[in-house]
């Protein structure tokens, strides 16, 4: 059983394997919870990889599911032990998208479509600060600081010269036209975006408004690929209160096909660079923005 060294990925792979074994045994999650005298939500959280599982719980579940191969049981128990290791982001405090960070850290490639803002991995410090401050109602200064620190630390995954991962970014033109923070912050962000788009492991493409309706109209999505699971992956859908993770092969294939269509409709990287440069030049002066004195 090949597993990634990342604890988050291990936990999710372990949960998926336990769910497969439960279904093969013909038991429902409610029946399992009743037999082990635990809550049904706990079973769901374990199978979704949203909480760590103790090796002894894995042993009990295997016994209940009729798994008799000692090597298979030992492998699952090792995964449980190794999945308890914490990532660097845990020390930062309360991070609401910790599951995603774990997956991103383990990924070998990321394809992302963003209709409204520049993706976190490509944001400047000032743009990131403005996005966080302006999009999270009632956030405390401490919460804003944590999110800002985590966002900037995540960027090392994309920019590390020795081990960068492959990053494809599709942006709707709206993300370029929306002035976040100030025209100066936005201008610096667009110049930085062009700089990153010139890196060999990063591809940036723009979907201009002239492209009309397209498969990305429904909203943001990302597809993460992992080095030990060719052909598989995880689709991430960011939501305000509860993110979604899709791992069924059919779902990943569906979103991959959507991404291919979006890439075909987008400007090529060279034309994208020229488009971003023009957008930066067309930014208004601060005094001309609505609501500015």
Q: pLDDT tens digits, residue range 263-289?
A: 999 999 999 999 999 999 999 875 555
- Residue 30 belongs to some domain of the structure: yes
**For residues 171 and 118, is the Cβ–Cβ distance under 8 A?**
yes
At 268 the pLDDT is: 97
189: domain range?
97-288
- Does residue 192 have a pLDDT over 90? yes
- Does residue 5 have a pLDDT over 50? no
Residue that finishes a domain, picked among 69, 87, 105:
87
- Residue 92 belongs to some domain of the structure: no
At 49 the pLDDT is: 74
Provide the pLDDT confidence category of residue 84 given band limits of 50, 70 and 90. Answer: low
- Residue 106 belongs to some domain of the structure: yes
- Does residue 190 have a pLDDT over 50? yes
- Does residue 123 have a pLDDT over 50? yes
- Does residue 59 have a pLDDT over 50? yes
Are 64 and 101 within one domain?
no
Are 198 and 137 within one domain?
yes
At 113 the pLDDT is: 97
Are 150 and 61 within one domain?
no
pTM confidence score: 0.74
- Does residue 2 have a pLDDT over 50? no
| Higher per-residue confidence, 48 vs 41 | 41
* CATH number of the structural domain spanning residue 13: 1.10.260.40
Least confident of 57-66, 130-139, 159-168, 282-291: 282-291
* CATH number of the structural domain spanning residue 133: 3.30.870
pLDDT, mean of residues 156-184:
87
111 — phi, psi (to 5°)? -115, 125
Are 192 and 226 within one domain?
yes
- Residue 293 belongs to some domain of the structure: no
- Residue 114 belongs to some domain of the structure: yes
- Residue 1 belongs to some domain of the structure: no
Are 52 and 161 within one domain?
no
- Residue 276 belongs to some domain of the structure: yes
- Residue 2 belongs to some domain of the structure: no
- Does residue 181 have a pLDDT over 70? yes
Are 124 and 170 within one domain?
yes
Handedness of CA 255, 257, 258, 259 (dihedral sign): positive
Are 46 and 153 within one domain?
no
- Does residue 160 have a pLDDT over 80? no
At 238 the pLDDT is: 85
Are 21 and 156 within one domain?
no
Residue that finishes a domain, picked among 87, 114, 129:
87
Residue that finishes a domain, picked among 58, 87, 116:
87
At 254 the pLDDT is: 95
* Number of separate domains in the chain: 2
Are 78 and 107 within one domain?
no
pLDDT, mean of residues 30-34:
91
- Does residue 3 have a pLDDT over 50? no
Are 191 and 268 within one domain?
yes
At 167 the pLDDT is: 94
As a whole number of angstroms, the longest Cα–Cα distance in the chain is 73
Q: pLDDT tens digits, residue range 238-265?
A: 876 678 888 888 999 999 999 999 999 9
Measured CA to CA, the distance from residue 27 to residue 61 in angstroms comes to 11
Are 76 and 102 within one domain?
no
What percent of the chain is modeled with pLDDT above 70?
Answer: 85
Least confident of 100-109, 159-168, 192-201, 260-269: 159-168
At 128 the pLDDT is: 94
Are 37 and 145 within one domain?
no
């Amino acid at each position: 059983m090949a597993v990634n060294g990342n604890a988050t990925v291990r936990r999710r792979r372990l949960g998926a394997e336990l769910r497969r074994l439960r279904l093969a045994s013909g038991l429902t999650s409610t029946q399992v919870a009743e037999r082990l005298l635990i809550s049904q939500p706990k079973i769901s959280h374990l199978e979704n990889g949203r909480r760590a599982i103790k090796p002894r719980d894995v042993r009990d579940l295997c016994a209940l599911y009729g798994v008799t191969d000692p090597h298979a049981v030992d492998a699952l128990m090792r995964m449980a032990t190794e999945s308890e290791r914490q990532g660097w982001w845990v020390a930062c405090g309360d991070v609401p998208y910790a599951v995603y960070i774990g997956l991103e850290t383990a990924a070998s490639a990321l394809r992302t479509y963003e209709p409204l803002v520049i993706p976190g991995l490509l944001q400047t410090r000032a743009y990131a600060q403005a996005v966080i401050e302006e999009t999270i109602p009632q956030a405390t200064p401490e919460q804003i600081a944590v999110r800002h620190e985590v966002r900037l630390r995540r960027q090392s995954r994309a920019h590390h010269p020795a081990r960068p991962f492959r990053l494809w970014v599709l942006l709707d033109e709206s993300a370029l036209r929306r002035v976040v923070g100030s025209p100066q912050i936005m201008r610096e962000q667009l110049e930085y975006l062009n700089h990153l788009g010139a890196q060999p492991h990063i591809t940036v493409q723009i979907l201009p408004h002239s492209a009309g309706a397209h498969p990305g109209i429904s909203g943001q999505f990302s597809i993460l690929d992992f080095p030990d699971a060719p052909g598989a992956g995880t689709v991430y859908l960011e939501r305000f209160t509860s993110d979604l993770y899709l791992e069924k092969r059919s779902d990943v294939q569906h979103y991959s096909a959507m991404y291919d269509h979006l890439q075909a409709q987008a400007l090529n990287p060279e034309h994208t660079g020229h488009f971003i440069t023009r957008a930066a030049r067309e930014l208004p002066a601060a005094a001309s923005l609505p609501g500015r004195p």
